[in-house]
Amino acid sequence: MKLLVTGGCGFIGTNFIRLMLGSHPDWSIVNLDKLTYAGNRLNLADLERDEPRYRFVRGDICDRDLVMDLLAGNSVDAVVNFAAESHVDRSISDPAPFVTTNVQGAQNLFECARQRRVGRFVHISTDEVYGTLGPQGQFTESTPLAPNSPYSASKAGADLMARAYFETYGFPALITRCSNNYGPYQFPEKLIPLMYLTAMADKPLPVYGDGQNVRDWIYVDDHCRGVELTLLKGRDGCAYNFGGNAEETNLNVVKTLLSILGKPESLITFVGDRPGHDRRYAMDYSLAAAELGFAPTLDFATGLRRTIDWYQANGEWLAQVQSGEYRRFMDSWYEAR
């Protein structure tokens, strides 16, 4: 299979490309990435150097001519769209780039793929499109979309556009909605790598509100396997939920991390809550289990240890991503609190 993967220099895209090229010797991948602050070409530098089945193209998913060129002449069997602005806090400070990339960019990809008659399109979405839950219940694929942040609203916008492309044009769009990912290569503005770095520096660990917001955590490889199954077996026009069976409060995540690192809980500092902060997400992934054979394989404690081992073994990667844009982001983040 010849794949166009977008956003492959980000966290999940990097893991997906590595897994797919590793497990499918007959697949080739073109990775289209704009290299925003969250994209790191060096994540896949070894593949660029040694793997003829991998090609990197720097560019924007909003660029119609470029995308049409990349899809020309049956050069691509399927598209997997990971490219996005992905950080909720940034969407609160400035929603505009979220609409540009997450809505307009996705629509541009759908349109180009439709015109080029691409046979399959997997659009990567998120559990956040469903909004928030009380203490009970889980999101299913028929839960109404009720996004609460500019980020999740932009993701929901693209999901609805994918649905409309299927209903209107018979475009072979599939949507994956997954819970919180963690694992290697995650940019350290997100909870787990942020807390890891802060704890290692013996600085206060900022936890939003009362720390009781609940997220379902999934190891990134399990999500990537879900995307692979969707690509291979999903029904056109369907959305599939994916989860890790690991509901944890943010406070518990931070405490578990501190205990693995042998650091004191006195480092935890509660900070003002995020506006519109969803209280709880939980995923019912029984449709993906029944139709695709999906099941998460790693429990949270094992996955977290594996992730920390990776950070400890990849100090150079961490040092590199912490320079420049990351440093500026963290400085302004702390200043605002």
Q: Which residues bind ligand NAD (CB under 6 A)?
A: 6-7, 9-13, 32-36, 38-39, 60-62, 82-86, 101, 105, 124, 126, 155, 178, 180-181, 187
Check if 151 is active-site. yes
**Which C-beta is closer to ligand NAD: that of 170 or that of 324?**
324
CB of 9 or CB of 122, closer to ligand NAD: 9
Minimum separation from the CB atom of position 262 to ligand NAD (A): 27
Pairwise CA distance, residues 33 & 123, whole Å: 15
User: Which residue's C-beta sits nearest to ligand NAD?
Assistant: 10
Out of 54, 60, 130, 151, which one is annotated catalytic? Answer: 151
Which of 33, 128, 221, 228 does the annotation list as catalytic?
128
Least separation in angstroms between CB 80 and ligand NAD: 10
Residue 33 or 248: the one with the smaller Cβ distance to ligand NAD is 33
Cα gap 325→323, rounded to integer Å:
6
Query: Contact, 15 vs 80, CB < 8 A?
Result: no
Whether 127 is catalytic is yes
Among 18, 28, 165, 3, smallest CA distance to 78 is for: 3
Phi/psi of residue 124, each to 5°?
-90, 115
Residue 122, beta-bridge partner list? 80, 174
Per the annotation, the verdict on 128 as an active-site residue is: yes
Q: In the complex with ligand NAD, which residue's Cβ is closer, 109 or 118?
A: 109
What 3-state DSSP class applies to 316?
helix
**Least spacing, CB of residue 16 vs ligand NAD, in Å:** 9
Phi, psi of 262 (to 5 degrees): 70, 35
Minimal CA–CA distance to 110: which of 53, 168, 38, 153?
168
Catalytic residues: 127-128, 151
